[in-house]
Structure 1
Amino acid sequence: MNTELDARLRREADQWLTVRTQDGTRPIRWDELEEFEFDGRPFKLKDRQRGIRKPRHLTAALSITTTYTPPGRAPRYADEIGPDGLVRYKWRDDAQESDNSALRAALDKGVPLFWFVGVAPGVYEPLYPVFVVAEEPELRQFVIAPDAVRGIVTPGQQIDENLRRYALRQTRQRLHQPVFRATVLHAYETRCAVCSLRHSSLLDAAHIVPDRDEDGIASVRNGLAMCKIHHAAFDVGVLGIRPDLVVEIRADILEEVDGPMLEHGLKARHGQRLMAVPRVRAQRPDTDLLEQRYAAFRKAG
């Protein structure tokens, strides 16, 4: 496939995914991914079995995949953020050396990739565009960057602390936060834990312990699906959640007299159990994290 056709394929796949995922606000199932067509023919954007997809007509990889790992299990490949704020994507094993070569070609050519991250069995959050910006062979890994920091941070070189923080913030916002949101909303069946609202565009994935804290991991066990009103109330300490999953509203708010949102949306939830929790026990909120956040809520109140 020539360079012009390669670029058109990636561009059309980008546009198709944007529409199918509602501009990245919802994940996509495996069977939905198989509906993509290029020049009127079905075209696979990801491989069913392999972590790196390089169609035979391309000279470089088209996509990479991180398979879903259930809570409590160690991932087969531990992709993680490095000290420079960029993500490390582990080599595939020796039996898949051709896949590693496809990523090296993507590095050499500077082509954009699609990254499909599993958020549930057969369900993926697509992250794009991402770029391979370096290889660290001694650690058997590639360095992946979102478009916002490509060319700004050079892996392996000492960088200014402010620049490192910028890269880390961009990586979290563009790569980790979408995966966290998709994982949490899927676990809560796209319902607000507090009021059971089902409109995904009005839902957030709230951290129990903020991600700026040491314990604020981007894990479903540190997440709660919340509508934007209850998320905001949770973040500013108006609403708290006890370790037994009962909602509390700050005492001074309970004494206020205001309109229906305060009366029904907040005060009426005081003393009520969460209306939505994950069916899978391993995906439910971590009790220790809830205790930590509830203690902060009580102290502030």
Structure 2
Amino acid sequence: MAWLRLRCTPDDPVVRRGELLGFQFEGRTFPLIDNQLGIRKPQGMTAALSILTTYASDGARAPYEDAVGPDGLLRYKFQGNPRHYTNVGLRAAFELGVPLMWFFGVRQGLYLPFFPVWIVAVETEQSQIAVALEEAQRHLPIDAPLSPIERRYSERLTAQRLHQPVFRQRVIQAYGASCAMCRLRHRSLLDAAHIIPDRDPRGVPAVSNGLALCKIHHAAYDQNILGVRPDCVIEVRADILEEIDGPMLKHGLQEMHDLSLTLPRRRTDRPDRDLLEERYERFRAVG
């Protein structure tokens, strides 16, 4: 975990599969993930060391949507037979209260790490464990119903700690770490902008509902200073086009008018046309 803290920077927060498999500890190779299984339980250790969620292309639903329980905590499924040694390692991690690492796939062979995480319940009937992403979630009641305030708090923590970071990295990776409007390639200055806001029921954290935008174009998009037509052409609001100001207005905003977005290579990662149209109508209503 100390190595991950140094390795994962704002400009490069993801780790590659080869790095995790080739990790060196005390002069020998000590993989942080299993080469074939989703749970890493090293020989000679009592508890599991890490869990992994494999990358899958977004469909209409977020890849982790089904994994969030009514208490706002994330669930992770057992590896086949509950008596499999990896699942025994998960139970041991729960009983000992030791932390694990969770590697979440954001692209083929690329993972966003979350650590430390803790197993707070073993739900044998569902063949799964409940995972807390931070200390505050460890102290929520598991066997008793949560109050509405506790549930909302836990759901918000899960969104902030996992949903939003994973959505950001998946979108930025899909767009090649480049702003779809101006092509700025400084990763630390890029955001994942929702086409339909996440507060809307249709605003799912899927790549098809996202655009990789630099911070100024993200803000301009959110404030309806500019919009994106369903054909992926940028439109700047008429009153903004008539303004006279400094070079940022001219080159950063006005010159975006009528340009086409730079889109991901894979069609499945490109913006959903229906979502673009819905958002464009909201932009037109403001203008």
Which residue of 1 is the match for residue 230 of structure 2? Answer: 243
Q: Among residues 198, 202, 214, which one is paired with 2:201 in the alignment?
A: 214
Residue by residue over 1:131-171, the C-alpha shift from the partner in whole angstroms, topping out at 9 and shown as x without a partner, is 11112222222111111433332224222222222211111
Which residue of 2 is the match for residue 181 of structure 1? Answer: 168
Structure 2 spans left out of the alignment, 5+ residues: none
Residue by residue over 1:9-53, the C-alpha shift from the partner in whole angstroms, topping out at 9 and shown as x without a partner, is xxxxx1211222215852111112234222222211001100100
- TM-score (structure 1 length as normaliser): 0.89
What is the distance in 1 between the residues matched to 2:95 and 2:110?
A: 30
In the TM superposition, residue 204 of structure 1 has moved relative to its aligned partner by: 0.8
Which residue of 1 is the match for residue 108 of structure 2? Answer: 121
Alignment partner of 1:288 is 2:274: yes
Preserved contact between residue 148 and residue 170 of structure 1 (Cα < 8 Å): no
Alignment partner of 1:161 is 2:148: yes
Q: Summarize the Cα distance change of 1:40–1:61 in structure 2 as closer, same or farther, 3 Å threshold.
A: same
Q: Summarize the Cα distance change of 1:224–1:161 in structure 2 as closer, same or farther, 3 Å threshold.
A: same
RMSD: 2.1
Alignment partner of 1:205 is 2:192: yes
In the TM superposition, residue 88 of structure 1 has moved relative to its aligned partner by: 1.2
Preserved contact between residue 233 and residue 239 of structure 1 (Cα < 8 Å): yes
What is the distance in 2 between the residues matched to 1:273 and 1:121?
A: 27
What is the distance in 1 between the residues matched to 2:105 and 2:252?
A: 34
Which residue of 1 is the match for residue 25 of structure 2? Answer: 38
Preserved contact between residue 47 and residue 89 of structure 2 (Cα < 8 Å): yes
In the TM superposition, residue 279 of structure 1 has moved relative to its aligned partner by: 0.2
Alignment partner of 1:17 is 2:31: no
What is the distance in 1 between the residues matched to 2:248 and 2:63?
A: 46
- Aligned pairs for 1:96-175 (under 5 A) are 97-175=84-162
AA aligned opposite 1:250 = R
Question: How many percent identity over aligned positions?
Answer: 53
* SS, match of residue 150 in structure 1: helix
Q: Among residues 84, 87, 107, which one is paired with 2:74 in the alignment?
A: 87
Residue by residue over 1:204-262, the C-alpha shift from the partner in whole angstroms, topping out at 9 and shown as x without a partner, is 11111111211111111111111011111111211211111011112222222111111
4+ runs of 1 displaced by more than 4 Å?
73-79
Structure 1 spans left out of the alignment, 5+ residues: 1-13
Preserved contact between residue 16 and residue 36 of structure 1 (Cα < 8 Å): no
In the TM superposition, residue 101 of structure 1 has moved relative to its aligned partner by: 1.3
- Aligned pairs for 1:223-262 (under 5 A) are 223-262=210-249
* SS, match of residue 138 in structure 2: coil
AA aligned opposite 1:295 = E
Worse overlay, 17-26 or 55-64: 17-26
What is the distance in 2 between the residues matched to 1:182 and 1:255?
A: 36
Alignment partner of 1:264 is 2:251: yes
In the TM superposition, residue 293 of structure 1 has moved relative to its aligned partner by: 1.3
Alignment partner of 1:26 is 2:8: no
AA aligned opposite 1:197 = L
What is the distance in 2 between the residues matched to 1:62 and 1:130?
A: 11
AA aligned opposite 2:205 = A
In the TM superposition, residue 75 of structure 1 has moved relative to its aligned partner by: 10
What is the distance in 1 between the residues matched to 2:139 and 2:206?
A: 28
Q: Summarize the Cα distance change of 1:23–1:258 in structure 2 as closer, same or farther, 3 Å threshold.
A: closer
Preserved contact between residue 167 and residue 192 of structure 2 (Cα < 8 Å): yes
